[in-house]
Structure 1
Amino acid sequence: MTRPTPTPTPTSTEASTSTASRAAARVVDAVKVYGAGDTAVRALDGVNVTFPAGRFTAIMGPSGSGKSTLMHCAAGLDTLSSGAAYLGDTELGTLDDRRLTLLRRDRIGFVFQAFNLVPTLTVAENITLPLDLAGGGHDAEWIDELVGIVGLRDRLHHRPSELSGGQQQRVAVARAFAGRPDVVFADEPTGNLDSRSGGEVLGLLGHAVRRMDRTVVMVTHDPVAAAHADEAVFLADGRLVDRMDSPTADKVLDRMKAFEVPS
């Protein structure tokens, strides 16, 4: 009798490579135009970019380059004029408003420059707010792990006004990951923080990617922030112009200088 050949168990390296090869989100031939006629602004001009699962990607570019527009369209917060945006295998443009709202609720997390915490709720209540609104139960073990990672176990019964800016943003980070989303989009998450608090928040995002197998896509103008990412993508005038693996602050700064227009 011939025995079936056993299926080899993937090594940790192979599993990691498989995770990274999957697209958490992507846009294809993405065009976004605001306005019409002579006042039309082409914020995205045929962008093709993939954000791999299990990776930390920074979107860089000068002011007005289209980086926030790209994030908003990839996250389903805005619609493309043409082209397509996907979360995993789901094309966002095929969803009606209800299904798009459910997708954002269940599969996407957000961290913004403004902390967007509810002032009347405690830290614990702010963290679980998306889950409570969805009417689902809590994974208590996962929430407890998040609270430990963001270092707020002794602040769970405090309200946002009793926290520093860095602590408030750590609450926002925990809230973004509370529902185990496919991807967390972060828009200038350190913009309102001092360098120390900003570094702590970026460290938390990196930890979530590398130790918890999460996916983060971050818009930033700061080369130091981009250096926390696994990869940086660069936009200029609504177009993707470069990608950089293992970015450092110096390499990103040098690349950004190329966008400066001589006076």
Structure 2
Amino acid sequence: MSISATSGTGVHQDTTGDRRHAITAMSVTKIYGDGDTAVRALHEVDIAFEAGRFSAIMGPSGSGKSTLMHCLAGLDTVTSGRIWLGSTELTELGDHALTLLRRERVGFVFQSFNLLPMLTARQNIELPLELAGARVDRAWLDELADTLGIADRLGHLPSQMSGGQQQRVAIARALITRPDVVFADEPTGNLDSRAGAQVLDFLRRSARELGQTVVMVTHDPVAASYAQRVVLLADGGLAGEIIDPTAERVMTALDQLRTSADGEVER
């Protein structure tokens, strides 16, 4: 099994402002609360995600995977440490600047789709551009719709579409602004296995064929096997990674994390 321990000092080396990395975290710590009730969700995390690749973040319950994604995406602030989106340091931005950055340079795909029920599929996809006051690239929208298999559903409301179709609309909405990074939080959690496989296949294709950077949080080893790289967390810290994962290797690694006393994946 090819699982390599993630270096605590080498992952972010020489990546600040390096265009090869879409997002970089350096010594990121996140603590909720204070005093006796303080909870350390992340501890001194160093990680970089290469541009144009599909990566997954995994770990046992409470490992910090969702917290890491929220901090990387600028949805939550860090207690200490630094995060860059390309050459822009998120941890130096104020609330207004962060809002603009998320709108213009980050895409989101959630488990619950988060489509506005009164808008058609086309209107939901175009919404980020409308909010930003930007022009819709019709050719790009048509390409996304064709690739995702929703071209004939653009005039439908979410209530008139299946769960899989709604999630594909959500993916098109995330990609319509051509973001630097798409963050996907359990994107197949509300889908059956067939619809989930279609969504995951497109996320993989968007990285390989469109050069899109995708970072996905999932608890599902099968979903993680679609990624090119799986980052493993345990107790708020990095525990290893798997390159070109399979579902079996991911399951073995997670079992090791659950049973290992020190939270490190054996090599």
Same fold (TM over 0.5): yes
- Match of residue 95, structure 1, among 93, 96, 99: 93
- Match of residue 39, structure 1, among 37, 40, 43: 37
Q: CA–CA distance in 1 between the matches of 2:226 and 2:167?
A: 17
Paired letter, 2:119:
L
Q: CA deviation at 1:26?
A: 1.3
- Match of residue 197, structure 2, among 196, 199, 207: 199
Alignment of 1:70-219 (within 5 A): 70-219=68-217
- Match of residue 65, structure 2, among 61, 67, 77: 67
TM-score by length of 1: 0.91
The 3-state SS of whatever aligns with 1:111 is: strand
Q: CA deviation at 1:21?
A: 7.3
Residue by residue over 1:46-104, the C-alpha shift from the partner in whole angstroms, topping out at 9 and shown as x without a partner, is 10000100100000101110000000000000000000111001111111111111100
Residue by residue over 1:133-163, the C-alpha shift from the partner in whole angstroms, topping out at 9 and shown as x without a partner, is 1111011111110010110111111000011
Q: CA–CA distance in 2 between the matches of 1:34 and 1:97?
A: 19
Q: Is the aligned partner of 1:241 residue 2:232?
A: no
Residue by residue over 1:2-35, the C-alpha shift from the partner in whole angstroms, topping out at 9 and shown as x without a partner, is xxxxxxxxxxxxxxxxxx9711011100000001
Q: Percent identity?
A: 59
Paired letter, 1:93:
T
2:223 equivalent in structure 1: 225
Paired letter, 1:113:
Q
Q: CA deviation at 1:259?
A: 2.0
Q: CA–CA distance in 1 between the matches of 2:112 and 2:144?
A: 20
Supply the RMSD in Å over aligned alpha carbons: 1.2
Q: CA deviation at 1:261?
A: 4.0
TM-score by length of 2: 0.89
Instruction: Give the 4+ runs in structure 1 shifted more than 4 A.
Output: none
Q: CA–CA distance in 2 between the matches of 1:170 and 1:156?
A: 11
Give the number of the structure whose alpha-carbon radius of gyration is greater. 1
Q: Is the aligned partner of 1:24 residue 2:33?
A: no
Q: CA–CA distance in 2 between the matches of 1:260 and 1:107?
A: 36
Q: CA–CA distance in 2 between the matches of 1:140 and 1:240?
A: 42
CA contact (8 A) 2:22 2:51 kept: yes
Q: CA–CA distance in 2 between the matches of 1:183 and 1:154?
A: 27
Paired letter, 1:224:
V
The 3-state SS of whatever aligns with 1:212 is: coil
Q: CA–CA distance in 2 between the matches of 1:254 and 1:154?
A: 42
CA contact (8 A) 2:19 2:87 kept: no
1:48 equivalent in structure 2: 46
Q: CA–CA distance in 1 between the matches of 2:56 and 2:19?
A: 17
Gaps in structure 2 of 5+ consecutive residues: 1-17, 261-267
